[in-house]
Amino acid sequence: MTGPLIKVSYAEEIARAGLEIEAVKLSPENPFTWASGYRMPIYNDNRMFLFNFDYRRLISSGFLEMISNNEIHWNIIAGTSTAGISPATTLADITESPLIYVREKPKDHGLKNKIEGIDADSDLKGGRVVLVEDLISFGGSSAGAVQAIRNANGVCDYCLSIFNYGLKEAKDVFSSLRPKCNVLSLLTYDLLFRVAKETGYVNDEQIKVLEEWREDPRGWGERHRFPRIERK
């Protein structure tokens, strides 16, 4: 699923930067509520990278190397709404490429667009699209964006993300797409976890919690009396 790796220095630098600015937060005593409604002891907020130009450039440079190493051919860059829009814009500006972004749901007014950047009565005309996502957890929304691009007559065989939790459900979701969509991530949970341990960002008790969580992310909250919050 992850394909050929980029050089480790990019991943480690992003990991250290993310820990330093607290883009990665741990709170096993008062877990975070993910968009899925599940209570989780870890939360990744890549929007924290937006404030610093050097971090934005670091991420776009990593994406460029990833594209080159994997010999990806594209003529359109797409971002997911909303967190994927900024890194997609930076990448599109550097490569002087057309840019679109994919809404989670179509607008409920006006032209009711699902994809912004093209006319509602048009499509992508077979363009080769690289999708940029900020992070991948269970993978449903990211895979949905891939399918939306394909529904609009775009070819989307690659999804790039800043961070990837590496959960089996996400791997299954992307593998179930026809044709399969390849996921390439600058930073994985395993590498982030290693850097966090090496730098003393997590203590022994937190390490134990995170190892337990990784074994069963959806069941972790229930076991610790933090039930899922149902979304309306």
Q: What is the pLDDT of residues 160-169, one digit of tens each?
A: 999 999 999 9
The CA-CA-CA angle for residues 210, 205, 224, to 5°, reads 60
pLDDT at 112: 58
CATH of the structural domain 8-223, one choice from 3.40.50.2020, 3.30.450.40, 3.30.70.2190, 3.40.50.1860: 3.40.50.2020
- Of the chain, the end-to-end C-alpha distance in Å amounts to 32
Tell me if 142 sits within 8 A of 123, measured CB to CB: no
Q: Using an 8 Å Cβ cutoff, are 202 and 210 in contact?
A: yes
Question: In which residue are the tokens 């229930």 written?
Answer: 222
pTM: 0.90
Residue with tokens 């895979």: 143
Predicted local distance difference test score (pLDDT) of residue 121: 84
Quick check: 13 and 49 in contact, CB under 8 A?
no
Give pLDDT tens digits along the chain (232 positions).
344 444 447 899 999 999 999 998 888 889 999 988 999 999 999 999 999 999 999 999 999 999 999 999 999 999 999 999 999 999 999 999 999 999 987 755 545 579 999 988 899 999 999 999 999 999 999 999 999 999 999 999 999 999 999 999 999 999 999 999 999 999 999 999 999 999 998 889 989 999 999 999 999 999 999 999 986 6
